[in-house]
Amino acid sequence: MEMIIVSTGGRKNNDGEMNLTNNRQQIIDRTLKLYVAALSDAADEIGLNTVCMDRGIVPLTKKKRMAGFARTGKLVRSPPNRPYDEKQLDVFMSLGTEAVDGDLLVIDTAGATDCSAWGQVLTRIGKPLGVRGAIIEGTSRDIDDIDKMDFVVFARGRHPGTMRGRYDMESVQKPIVCGGVTINPGDLIFADGDGVVVIPPEHIEAVLKHAEGVVETDEWWANKLDEGKDPHDLHKERPIP
Amino acid sequence: MEMIIVSTGGRKNNDGEMNLTNNRQQIIDRTLKLYVAALSDAADEIGLNTVCMDRGIVPLTKKKRMAGFARTGKLVRSPPNRPYDEKQLDVFMSLGTEAVDGDLLVIDTAGATDCSAWGQVLTRIGKPLGVRGAIIEGTSRDIDDIDKMDFVVFARGRHPGTMRGRYDMESVQKPIVCGGVTINPGDLIFADGDGVVVIPPEHIEAVLKHAEGVVETDEWWANKLDEGKDPHDLHKERPIP
Amino acid sequence: MEMIIVSTGGRKNNDGEMNLTNNRQQIIDRTLKLYVAALSDAADEIGLNTVCMDRGIVPLTKKKRMAGFARTGKLVRSPPNRPYDEKQLDVFMSLGTEAVDGDLLVIDTAGATDCSAWGQVLTRIGKPLGVRGAIIEGTSRDIDDIDKMDFVVFARGRHPGTMRGRYDMESVQKPIVCGGVTINPGDLIFADGDGVVVIPPEHIEAVLKHAEGVVETDEWWANKLDEGKDPHDLHKERPIP
C-alpha cells in the first residue's frame, strides 16, 4: 500500500510518480517554496475534493509554515471512573518515537477541548527525529516552551490540562479526520498562516505542478497590475488567480 | 440619494451637513484621531441602534486601524454541479476597480467559511485607487502578502480556498449585513483592535462631535485619577466614560 | 470564612495552612515561578475537579502571565426600555476601588458579548491598588490603552460597546462562574498563554507543592531526553509529565 511506502520513507518501486513521492525531502523543499492557497487552487483545478482544513485549525506557535507527510493518531475519551492505564501513554509516545524524518503528526481527538493532546515532551521526542510539526483536532499546551524549540503546532486553541485520564489512544497510522478533512498516513500536509492543505500521495506531483503555475500566474498578474493594466482585460487573458 | 452622493465622493449639494459627509478625507482624518469605542459610546448617546460589529469580526493584518466609506458587495453560494461562470469575477473585481479614494470594502458572504472572499489580487487592485481596507463576513487569504502592502483586512478568520466555484456575486452597492450590522453604501466605517463601528451618513457629524467629547472626558478622568481623586466622586461630576 | 480572610489580605489566624494562604505576595511569587499546566497537573494529582477555564478565555493583552486572588463581580442584562441607573456604576467601580494588593478581578457577565465589561478606566482605578489583572466571561475594550499600562486582561474577545444600559450589577464578592469554572472570592488564579487555572484556598499549598514536583519532573525528562534516553524507559521510571 502506498501509505506504507510513503510512511517508511525510503523504499522504492518501479513507478516514477511513486519514486517522487518517496523522495520526501525533495517534495518538502519544493512545497515550501509555494504557499498554501496555491496548493488549494491547484487541487481545485485537478478536481480534488475538500483538501483544506477549516478555519478553526490555527497556528499557535510563532513559526507557522511547515510541510511534511502525515503520521496519524486517534484519541478517544477515557471512560469515567476507571484507573488510568499508564501503558496508553507508551502507545501515544510511539507517535513521536517511531516517527521518521519528514513526518508531520496529525492527531484526531474526537473534538474534546478540555485537555491538550500536544505539549513540550512530545515536541522534545519528535523534533530530533525530523518531525516537522503537529496538527491537533483539539487543543495544545506548553506553547511558550515549544516556541523555544522552533517547532510548529496548529490546533483549535490552547488548554493547560493533561490528556492523562481524559484521552485513550485508539489507533496509530490509521485514517483520521482533522479540521474536516480525511487524512491518510503519508498524505502531504502543508500549512501556513492561511490554513492547512492535505494532498494524497497519488496527487502530489500534479498538485505541485499546478501550484507552481498558480504562483507564476500570481506574479504575472502582480506585474501587469503594477504596469497599470486593466484587471478585467487581464482576466480575459488569464483568469484571476 | 445620499448613498449615491457619498459613494461617488465628489459631488456637492446645498445642505451643509451633506457637504461635510461629502468631504471624505476630512471626515476620515477626524475619525482616525479618535478610537472605535468612543464612536460607539457617542452613537449610544444620540440613540442609534446597533452600530458595532460582533466580536467575531477581527483584524487579520498587522495594521488594524482604518476608516472609510462603505462600498458593499454581496456573495451567495454557487449552485453545485454547474460550470463556473468566469464573468462573475468581472463583477466581483468591479468592487475594486470602480472604487474611489476613501472607500472601504465590506463583503457579505452569507456566512460561508469554506473559502475566502478577499486576497492579494483585490488588494493590489483596490489599494492604488485609495481603498482603505476590507471587511469580510467570512474568511480571507494571502494575509502575509497583504501585510507587505500595508493594507487592513478584518474577517472571521483565514481560509486558503478560492471563491471560484464556491461564491456567486449577487449585488454591488446594495445594503448588506456584516458582523450583525446592516451596512448601506456610504456608511462611515471605523475599525481598530477593539472592533468595527458603522455610522450612517446622516449621523456622522453628530457622532463625531459626541465622540470628541467622549475622548475629552476620558482625558479628564485619566488626569483626575492620576491626581488621586476618588472615582465615585468623579462619577458624580462627570459619569464614568 | 476563609474567603473573607483571604480577600481582606492581611488578617491572620492560628492555622498554619491559612497563614500561608494569607501571605498573598509570597504565594503569588511562588506561583509565578511555575506555569499554568503544572498547576493543572498538580490539581489532577490531588483529585480536584475542574480547575481550568475553557479555551475560549484567552489573553487580549501583550502581557499574558498573572497570578492573584479572585475578587469577583457578577453582571446581568439590563432590562430593556428603562432609564439606566447611573448608581449601578458606583457599585461596579467598587470592584476596583475596594480592591487590595494581590487581588485579581474576575467578572461573570452571563455570557453576553455585545458590550465590554472591562476597559481603561477600571484599569486606571485598580492597577495602583495592586490589582494583578482581570478575567472577563465576556468581552473587553480599550486594550491598546491597557497595554500601555502593562496590565493583563483575559476574555472571550474584544467589543467596543460600553456596558452602560446593557449590564446591571448583580453582586460583588459572591461565587461566580467564569470559563466553566466556579470561582469563590479568595481563590488563587494563575494565567499564562496556555489558559487559566483556579485553586481554592484550602488546596493552594498542596497544589503548589505538587506543581513544583511537576516542574522538577519536566526538567528531569528534558535532561534525560537530551542525553538520548528512550522515552518509553523514562516513562517506566517516572511517568511522562
Q: C194-239: per-residue pLDDT in tens?
A: 999 999 999 999 999 999 999 999 999 999 999 999 999 999 999 9
Decide: helix, strand or coil at residue A195.
strand
Question: What percentage of chain B reaches a pLDDT higher than 90?
Answer: 83
Verify whether the Cβ–Cβ distance C235 to A141 is below 8 Å. no
Using CA coordinates, name the residue in chain A closest to C221: A121
Q: A9-19: per-residue pLDDT in tens?
A: 333 344 444 45
Cα of B150 to nearest chain C Cα, Å = 20
Contacts of B45 in chain C (CB under 8 A): none
* Residues B7-35, mean pLDDT to the nearest whole number: 69
Half-sphere exposure of C219 (CA within 13 A, CB side): 7
* Residues B182-196, mean pLDDT to the nearest whole number: 98
Closest by CA to B198, choosing from B87, B49, B79, is: B49
What was the ipTM of the complex prediction?
0.91
**What is the rounded average pLDDT for all residues in chain A?**
91
Q: A157-186: per-residue pLDDT in tens?
A: 999 999 999 999 999 999 999 999 999 999
In a mutational test of the C interface, the residue from A116, A123, A149, A172 whose CB has the highest number of chain C CBs within 10 Å is A116
Closest by CA to A112, choosing from A69, A70, A170, is: A170
Using CA coordinates, name the residue in chain A closest to C38: A160
Which of C54, C194, C240 lies nearest to residue A89, judging by beta carbons?
C240
**Cα separation, B127 vs A31, whole angstroms:** 30
CB-based contact, C156 to chain B, within 8 Å: yes
Residue A2 has pLDDT above 60, yes or no: no
Cα of B95 to nearest chain C Cα, Å = 28
| Region of poorest pLDDT, from A169-173, A229-233, B13-17, B45-49 | B13-17
Give residue B19's pLDDT: 52
Query: Which are the contacts of B168, defined by CB distance < 8 A and separation ≥ 6?
Result: B75, B76, B77, B78, B79, B85, B88
Verify whether the Cβ–Cβ distance A58 to B142 is below 8 Å. no
In this prediction, residue C20 has a pLDDT band, given cuts at 50, 70 and 90, of: low
Half-sphere exposure of B204 (CA within 13 A, CB side): 28
Cα of C207 to nearest chain B Cα, Å = 35
Verify whether the Cβ–Cβ distance C158 to B195 is below 8 Å. yes
Contacts of B196 in chain C (CB under 8 A): 160
Give residue A21's pLDDT: 59
Give residue B65's pLDDT: 98
Give residue A110's pLDDT: 79
**Cα separation, C189 vs B11, whole angstroms:** 58
Decide: helix, strand or coil at residue B198.
strand
**Cα separation, A169 vs A152, whole angstroms:** 22
In this prediction, residue C13 has a pLDDT band, given cuts at 50, 70 and 90, of: very low
Q: C158-184: per-residue pLDDT in tens?
A: 999 999 999 999 999 999 999 999 999
Give residue B14's pLDDT: 46
Query: Which are the contacts of B113, defined by CB distance < 8 A and separation ≥ 6?
Result: A54, A55, B138, B139, B156, B157, B159
Length of chain A: 241
CB-based contact, A193 to chain B, within 8 Å: yes
CB-based contact, C45 to chain A, within 8 Å: no
Q: C74-121: per-residue pLDDT in tens?
A: 999 988 877 788 888 999 999 999 999 999 999 999 778 899 999 999
CB-based contact, C93 to chain B, within 8 Å: yes
Q: C35-49: per-residue pLDDT in tens?
A: 999 999 999 999 998
**Cα separation, B86 vs B92, whole angstroms:** 10
Domains and CATH numbers, chain C: 2-201 (3.50.30.40)
In this prediction, residue B13 has a pLDDT band, given cuts at 50, 70 and 90, of: very low
DSSP A201: G
Verify whether the Cβ–Cβ distance A231 to B86 is below 8 Å. no
Query: Which are the contacts of B16, defined by CB distance < 8 A and separation ≥ 6?
Result: none
Residue B7 has pLDDT above 70, yes or no: no
CB-based contact, A125 to chain C, within 8 Å: yes
CB-based contact, A218 to chain B, within 8 Å: yes
- SS3 helix, strand, coil % of chain C, rounded to 5? 40, 20, 40
Q: What angle do CA C98, C102, C107 make, to 5 degrees?
A: 60
How many Cβ atoms from other residues are within 10 Å of residue B110's Cβ? 14
Cα of A78 to nearest chain B Cα, Å = 32
Verify whether the Cβ–Cβ distance B40 to C121 is below 8 Å. no
Determine the straight-line distance between the first and last CA of chain C, rounded to whole angstroms: 36
**What is the rounded average pLDDT for all residues in chain B?**
91
In this prediction, residue C124 has a pLDDT band, given cuts at 50, 70 and 90, of: very high
In this prediction, residue A20 has a pLDDT band, given cuts at 50, 70 and 90, of: low
Give residue C116's pLDDT: 96
Give residue B82's pLDDT: 75
Cell 444620540 appears where?
B46
Closest by CA to B196, choosing from B150, B108, B135, B152, is: B135
Q: A65-97: per-residue pLDDT in tens?
A: 999 999 999 999 988 877 788 888 999 999 999
Using CA coordinates, name the residue in chain C closest to A90: C232
Q: B74-97: per-residue pLDDT in tens?
A: 999 988 877 788 888 999 999 999
Verify whether the Cβ–Cβ distance C157 to B222 is below 8 Å. no
DSSP A90: H
Give residue B21's pLDDT: 59
Cα of A31 to nearest chain B Cα, Å = 15
